[in-house]
Amino acid sequence: MTTPAIPAPDLVVVDRLMKTFDVSPPLITRLATGAKPRMLKAVDGVSFRIAPGRTLSLVGESGCGKTTVARCVAGLQAPSGGTIAYRGVPIADIVAGKSPYRREIQMIFQDPYGSLNPRWRVGRIIADPIRALKLAASGAETDAAVARLLVAVGLSPADARKYPHEFSGGQRQRIAVARALASRPALIVCDEPTSALDVSVQAQILNLMRDLQDEFGLTYLFISHNLSVVDHMSSEVAVMYLGRIVETAHTADLFSAPKHPYTRLLLKAMPSLDQVGAVREPMQGEVPNPIDPPTGCAFHPRCPFAADRCRQERPDLRPLAGGTVACHRAEEIG
């Protein structure tokens, strides 16, 4: 993919997004033991933009806040701070129905077993957004749209009469994609869409998603912990650690020249088919508890390059060589 000569206005602009969860002990416990209220900063000042027709991936380990960002962008969760705008309109207004853009944002979830109503036939599942948003004039038109969508995702129109349990995991994820496409969206938020699937099925779904992107000009916000899937799918990547973005870059740059020590270690930790039997040094330590994050740079306890400054001063995301990085020592270790 090449960057267009004149940059199109960004479809999604996320600015200093914050999301905190109240994880305090119950009031009665607090009164009895004097325990303090506790807040968990799941997302702590995340900013990014997505241009139309592009795919931005958020990667990171569990608990880094990537899914929370996705849910905020899809309007499923209200941010605690910061702003999210879609085509310049705040997401809150879109969710409240004050804007015609609501149908343009859709989401695909990780678990194709939990995200489809088991009591509804597939036809009804896919027709639901069409009916809810009044996108078809008649029942016959709705049925025709459902049939077209099923064909578009590689199923047959006859499958509309079946129930979700009659399908395999991969086929169910195709149904979830068809449902997401039903409202003619421009942006699809994909939260680990293939991590519950076998690799051969994963290839089918990833290919389908790329084909549909080309066909309908879709923009994806893609959430994944799998770096090789991210490399295959995205135009830009943002790496998250403990609620913050630590590095952003064009995909090819990120994988050929990672700048943040966390990105480097993550890349090294990926098992690869090219390294049969290779004994690699595994990354030390684990992700710290987000309720009680380390001082300074959150990655410093695991970072092989950590210096005194890293323990005291939190690095801001700053531009470097075409991307951005939040590391005091990025130039030195490059």
Partner 1 sequence: MTRTPLVDVRDLRVCARTDRGHLTVLDGVSFDIMPGEILGVVGESGAGKSMTGTALTGLIEPPMSIDGGEIRCAGRRIDNLPPDQLRLVRGKEIATIFQDPLTALNPVFTIGRQLVETIGEHTGLAGAEAQREAVTLLAQVGIPAPESRLASYPHEFSGGMRQRVVIALALAGRPKLIVADEPTTALDVSIQGQIIALLRDLCARRGTAVMLITHDMGVIAEAAHRVAVMYAGRIVEIGPVADVVHRPRHPYTRGLMGSIPAIGRRLKRLPQIDGAMPRPSEIPPGCAFAPRCPIVVPECREQRPALDPDGIHRAACRRSAEVGSA
φ and ψ at residue 169, rounded to 5 degrees: -55, -45
Pick from 15, 141, 166, 198: which binds partner 1 (CB under 8 A)?
A: 198
136 lines the binding site for partner 1 (CB under 8 A): no
Contact pick of 57, 77, 115, 171 for partner 1 (by CB under 8 A):
171
269 binds partner 1 (CB under 8 A): yes
Task: Indicate whether 202 belongs to the interface with partner 1 (CB under 8 A).
Answer: yes
Query: Is residue 228 involved in binding partner 1 (CB under 8 A)?
Result: yes
The region of 45-53, 72-80, 162-170, 180-188 touching partner 1 under the rule CB under 8 A is 162-170
The DSSP string of 141-169 is HHHHHHHHHHHHTT--GGGGGS-GGGS-H
217: number of Cβ within 10 Å: 10
SS3 122: helix
Q: Does 68 bind partner 1 (CB under 8 A)?
A: no
Q: Is 204 in the site for partner 1 (CB under 8 A)?
A: yes
Q: Which stretch binds partner 1 (CB under 8 A): 17-25, 67-75, 89-97, 163-171?
A: 163-171
| Amino acid type, 287 | V
- CB count within 10 Å of CB 206 equals 16
User: Cα dist. 37→20, 31, 68, 73 in Å?
Assistant: 13, 11, 21, 28
Instruction: Candidates 35, 96, 252, 333: give the one binding partner 1 (CB under 8 A).
Output: 252
Q: Return d(Cα 97, Cα 191) in angstroms, integer.
A: 23
Q: Which stretch binds partner 1 (CB under 8 A): 70-78, 183-191, 215-223, 275-283?
A: 275-283
**Cβ-based nearer residue to partner 1, 5 or 276:** 276
Helix (H, G, I), strand (E, B) or coil at 189: strand
Length of the chain equals 334
Choose which of 125, 177, 229, 249 interacts with partner 1 (CB under 8 A): 229
By the rule CB under 8 A, 166 interacts with partner 1: no
Contact 189, 74 (CB under 8 A): yes
